[in-house]
């Protein structure tokens, strides 16, 4: 038998923009890029651990290292994120994440997360806005904003998204007229918050949110806190104090915490404030009774 030929080894770099480099030259042939990135996988050869990815091809081992992630999405178009000569993944807003440096990522076929290059980010930027300590995406085709989580969320924070199968007007994802509210539960503080922009369809008098919508926001926030704490309950009594009219379009912060927990009864307080100035528009005291003992 002829002696085995040694594996040929080559070394590549992927930069922050998703460009592929070999020995100082950028590789731009789209057919080659599609082949290369389709076969890109974690390096389990035991060789060159400083190159965490590899492409195996016949007698070649093509080792790859990255400035950040192996997949860098360079375009967003028609519900897809495109990379590497026209390869694409379906864009799923719930699979977006952001880093402590403000870089946006999306789930990727290799390396778990793929960085969004500036060109892709620019195509989404006008639909992004802050949501408390997080961000939210307001694409026109979405029925309600989608909250973007950090890559490494604080241990005490739990993001509660709308339930896709529920028709609740506040937190359900199956109600076409619903608000689609998300909430951020703080386990350590046993408090909860949501951030929302007052929608024109929620108004009472021209330019002002309806008082019933304000009551709904306050009541839902308190009820969601009890559910997050594992103590779902019905509202028994709601006492409201409207302090000022809420302008349509205002960016609002609604928060709640428990004042007293003596199961099956609970007393909570909620505030509705302007997000930036923290001006209080309304506050509520809510008396709740456990689902398991509604007649208590």
Which segments within 17-145 are labelled E, that is strand? 20-22, 25-27, 41-42, 53-57, 60-66, 72-73, 75-77, 80-83, 87-90, 96-98, 104-107, 113-116, 128-131, 134-137
Q: How confident is the model at residue 1 (pLDDT cuts 50, 70, 90)?
A: very low
Closest CA to 83 of 63, 56, 65, 108: 108
Higher pLDDT, 53 or 173: 53
Which tokens in the block code for residue 265? 């009864």
Q: How confident is the model at residue 2 (pLDDT cuts 50, 70, 90)?
A: very low
Q: Can you give the pLDDT at residue 292?
A: 74
Percent of the residues in the chain that have a pLDDT greater than 70, as a whole number: 97
**pLDDT at position 295 over 90:** no
pLDDT digits (tens, 9 = 90+) for 65-86: 999 999 999 999 999 999 998 9
CB atoms within 10 A of CB 130: 12
pTM score of the predicted model: 0.89
| Residue 133 in this model has a pLDDT that exceeds 60 | yes
Residue 57: predicted pLDDT: 86
Give the residue range(s) of CATH 3.10.129.10 domains in the chain.
156-296
- What does the pLDDT read at residue 3? 46
What confidence tens digit (pLDDT) does each residue in 134-188 have?
999 999 988 899 999 999 999 999 999 999 899 999 999 898 889 999 999 999 9
Quick one: how far is CA 184 from the chain centroid?
A: 11
Buried b (16+ CB within 10 A) or exposed e, 165-174: eeebebbbbe
Q: Which CATH number fits domain 156-296: 3.40.50.300, 3.40.50.12280, 3.40.50.1000, 3.10.129.10?
A: 3.10.129.10
pLDDT over 50 (residue 190) = yes
Q: Are 226 and 254 in contact (CB under 8 A)?
A: no
């Amino acid at each position: 038998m002829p002696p085995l030929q040694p594996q040929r080894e080559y070394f590549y770099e992927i930069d922050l923009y998703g460009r592929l480099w070999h020995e100082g030259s950028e590789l731009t042939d789209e057919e080659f890029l599609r082949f290369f990135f389709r076969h890109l996988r974690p390096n389990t050869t035991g060789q060159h651990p400083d190159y965490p990815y590899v492409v195996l091809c016949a007698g070649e081992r093509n080792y790859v290292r990255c400035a950040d992630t192996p997949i860098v999405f360079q375009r967003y178009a028609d519900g897809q994120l495109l990379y590497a000569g026209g390869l694409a993944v379906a864009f799923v807003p719930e699979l977006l994440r952001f880093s402590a440096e403000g870089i946006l990522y999306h789930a990727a076929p290799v390396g778990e997360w793929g960085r969004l290059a500036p060109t892709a980010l620019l195509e989404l930027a006008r639909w992004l806005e802050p949501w408390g300590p997080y961000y939210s995406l307001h694409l026109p085709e979405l029925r309600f904003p989608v909250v973007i989580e950090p890559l490494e969320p604080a241990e005490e924070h739990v993001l509660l998204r709308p339930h896709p199968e529920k028709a609740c007007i506040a937190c359900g994802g199956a109600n076409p007229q619903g608000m689609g509210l998300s909430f951020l539960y703080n386990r350590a503080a046993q408090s909860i918050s949501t951030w929302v922009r007052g929608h024109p369809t929620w108004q009472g008098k021209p330019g002002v949110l309806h008082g019933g919508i304000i009551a709904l926001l306050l009541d839902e926030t308190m009820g969601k806190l009890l559910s997050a704490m594992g103590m779902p309950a019905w509202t028994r009594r709601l006492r409201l104090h409207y302090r000022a009219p809420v302008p349509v379009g205002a960016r609002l912060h609604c928060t709640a915490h428990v004042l007293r927990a003596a199961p099956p009864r609970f007393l909570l307080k909620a505030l509705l404030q302007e997000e930036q100035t923290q001006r209080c528009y309304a506050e509520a005291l809510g008396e709740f009774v456990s689902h398991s003992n509604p007649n208590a």
